[in-house]
């Protein structure tokens, strides 16, 4: 276990913006190669996820401004956050997830008590 602690800013970001380890895995996959765009099918194969679930998670992440949506015949997604602070926090997340995996998961598990319907509705709030 690492002695490095997750910052309060990152912990708050995780509680407010990410709900599952799958979402983190998707963001980190896209972050590894920001120039590449992915289909939901490609992401699901790479991460071993159910394609329909992957498609929904990608849509939700894009609607939150955590990744970019590229409209085309087959929707594609790539890494790109809506602002510099979000980008910095996602990069901090990537570093922490590698060294503090369990601590990151505990931070998102804190949301487990939240109302799942409200959490779903919150994913559609427009960010300024």
pLDDT at 117 over 80: no
Q: Measured between alpha carbons, how far is 97 from 56 in angstroms, rounded to an integer?
A: 23
The token pair at 93 is: 């997340």
Q: Measured between alpha carbons, how far is 116 from 110 in angstroms, rounded to an integer?
A: 13
Residue pair 57/23 in contact by the 8 Å Cβ criterion: yes
Q: What is the pLDDT of residues 60-95, one digit of tens each?
A: 999 999 999 998 889 999 999 889 999 999 999 999
What pLDDT score was predicted for residue 56?
94
What pLDDT score was predicted for residue 43?
97
Helices 21-32 and 101-109: angle between axes, nearest 10 degrees: 130
Confidence band for 116, pLDDT divided at 50, 70 and 90: low
What pLDDT score was predicted for residue 55?
94
Q: Domains (ranges, CATH) in the chain? A: 8-112 (1.10.10.10)
């Amino acid at each position: 276990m690492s002695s490095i602690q997750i910052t309060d800013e990152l912990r708050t970001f995780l509680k407010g913006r990410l709900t599952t380890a799958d979402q983190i895995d998707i963001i980190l996959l896209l972050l590894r190669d920001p120039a590449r765009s992915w289909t939901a099918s490609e992401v699901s194969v790479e991460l071993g996820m159910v394609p329909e679930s992957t498609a929904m998670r990608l849509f939700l992440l894009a609607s939150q401004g955590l990744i970019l949506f590229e409209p085309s015949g087959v929707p594609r997604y790539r890494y790109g956050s809506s602002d510099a602070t979000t980008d910095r926090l996602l990069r901090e997340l990537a570093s922490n997830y590698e060294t503090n995996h369990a601590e990151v998961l505990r931070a998102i598990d804190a949301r487990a008590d939240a109302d799942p319907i409200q959490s779903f509705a919150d994913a559609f709030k427009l960010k300024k």
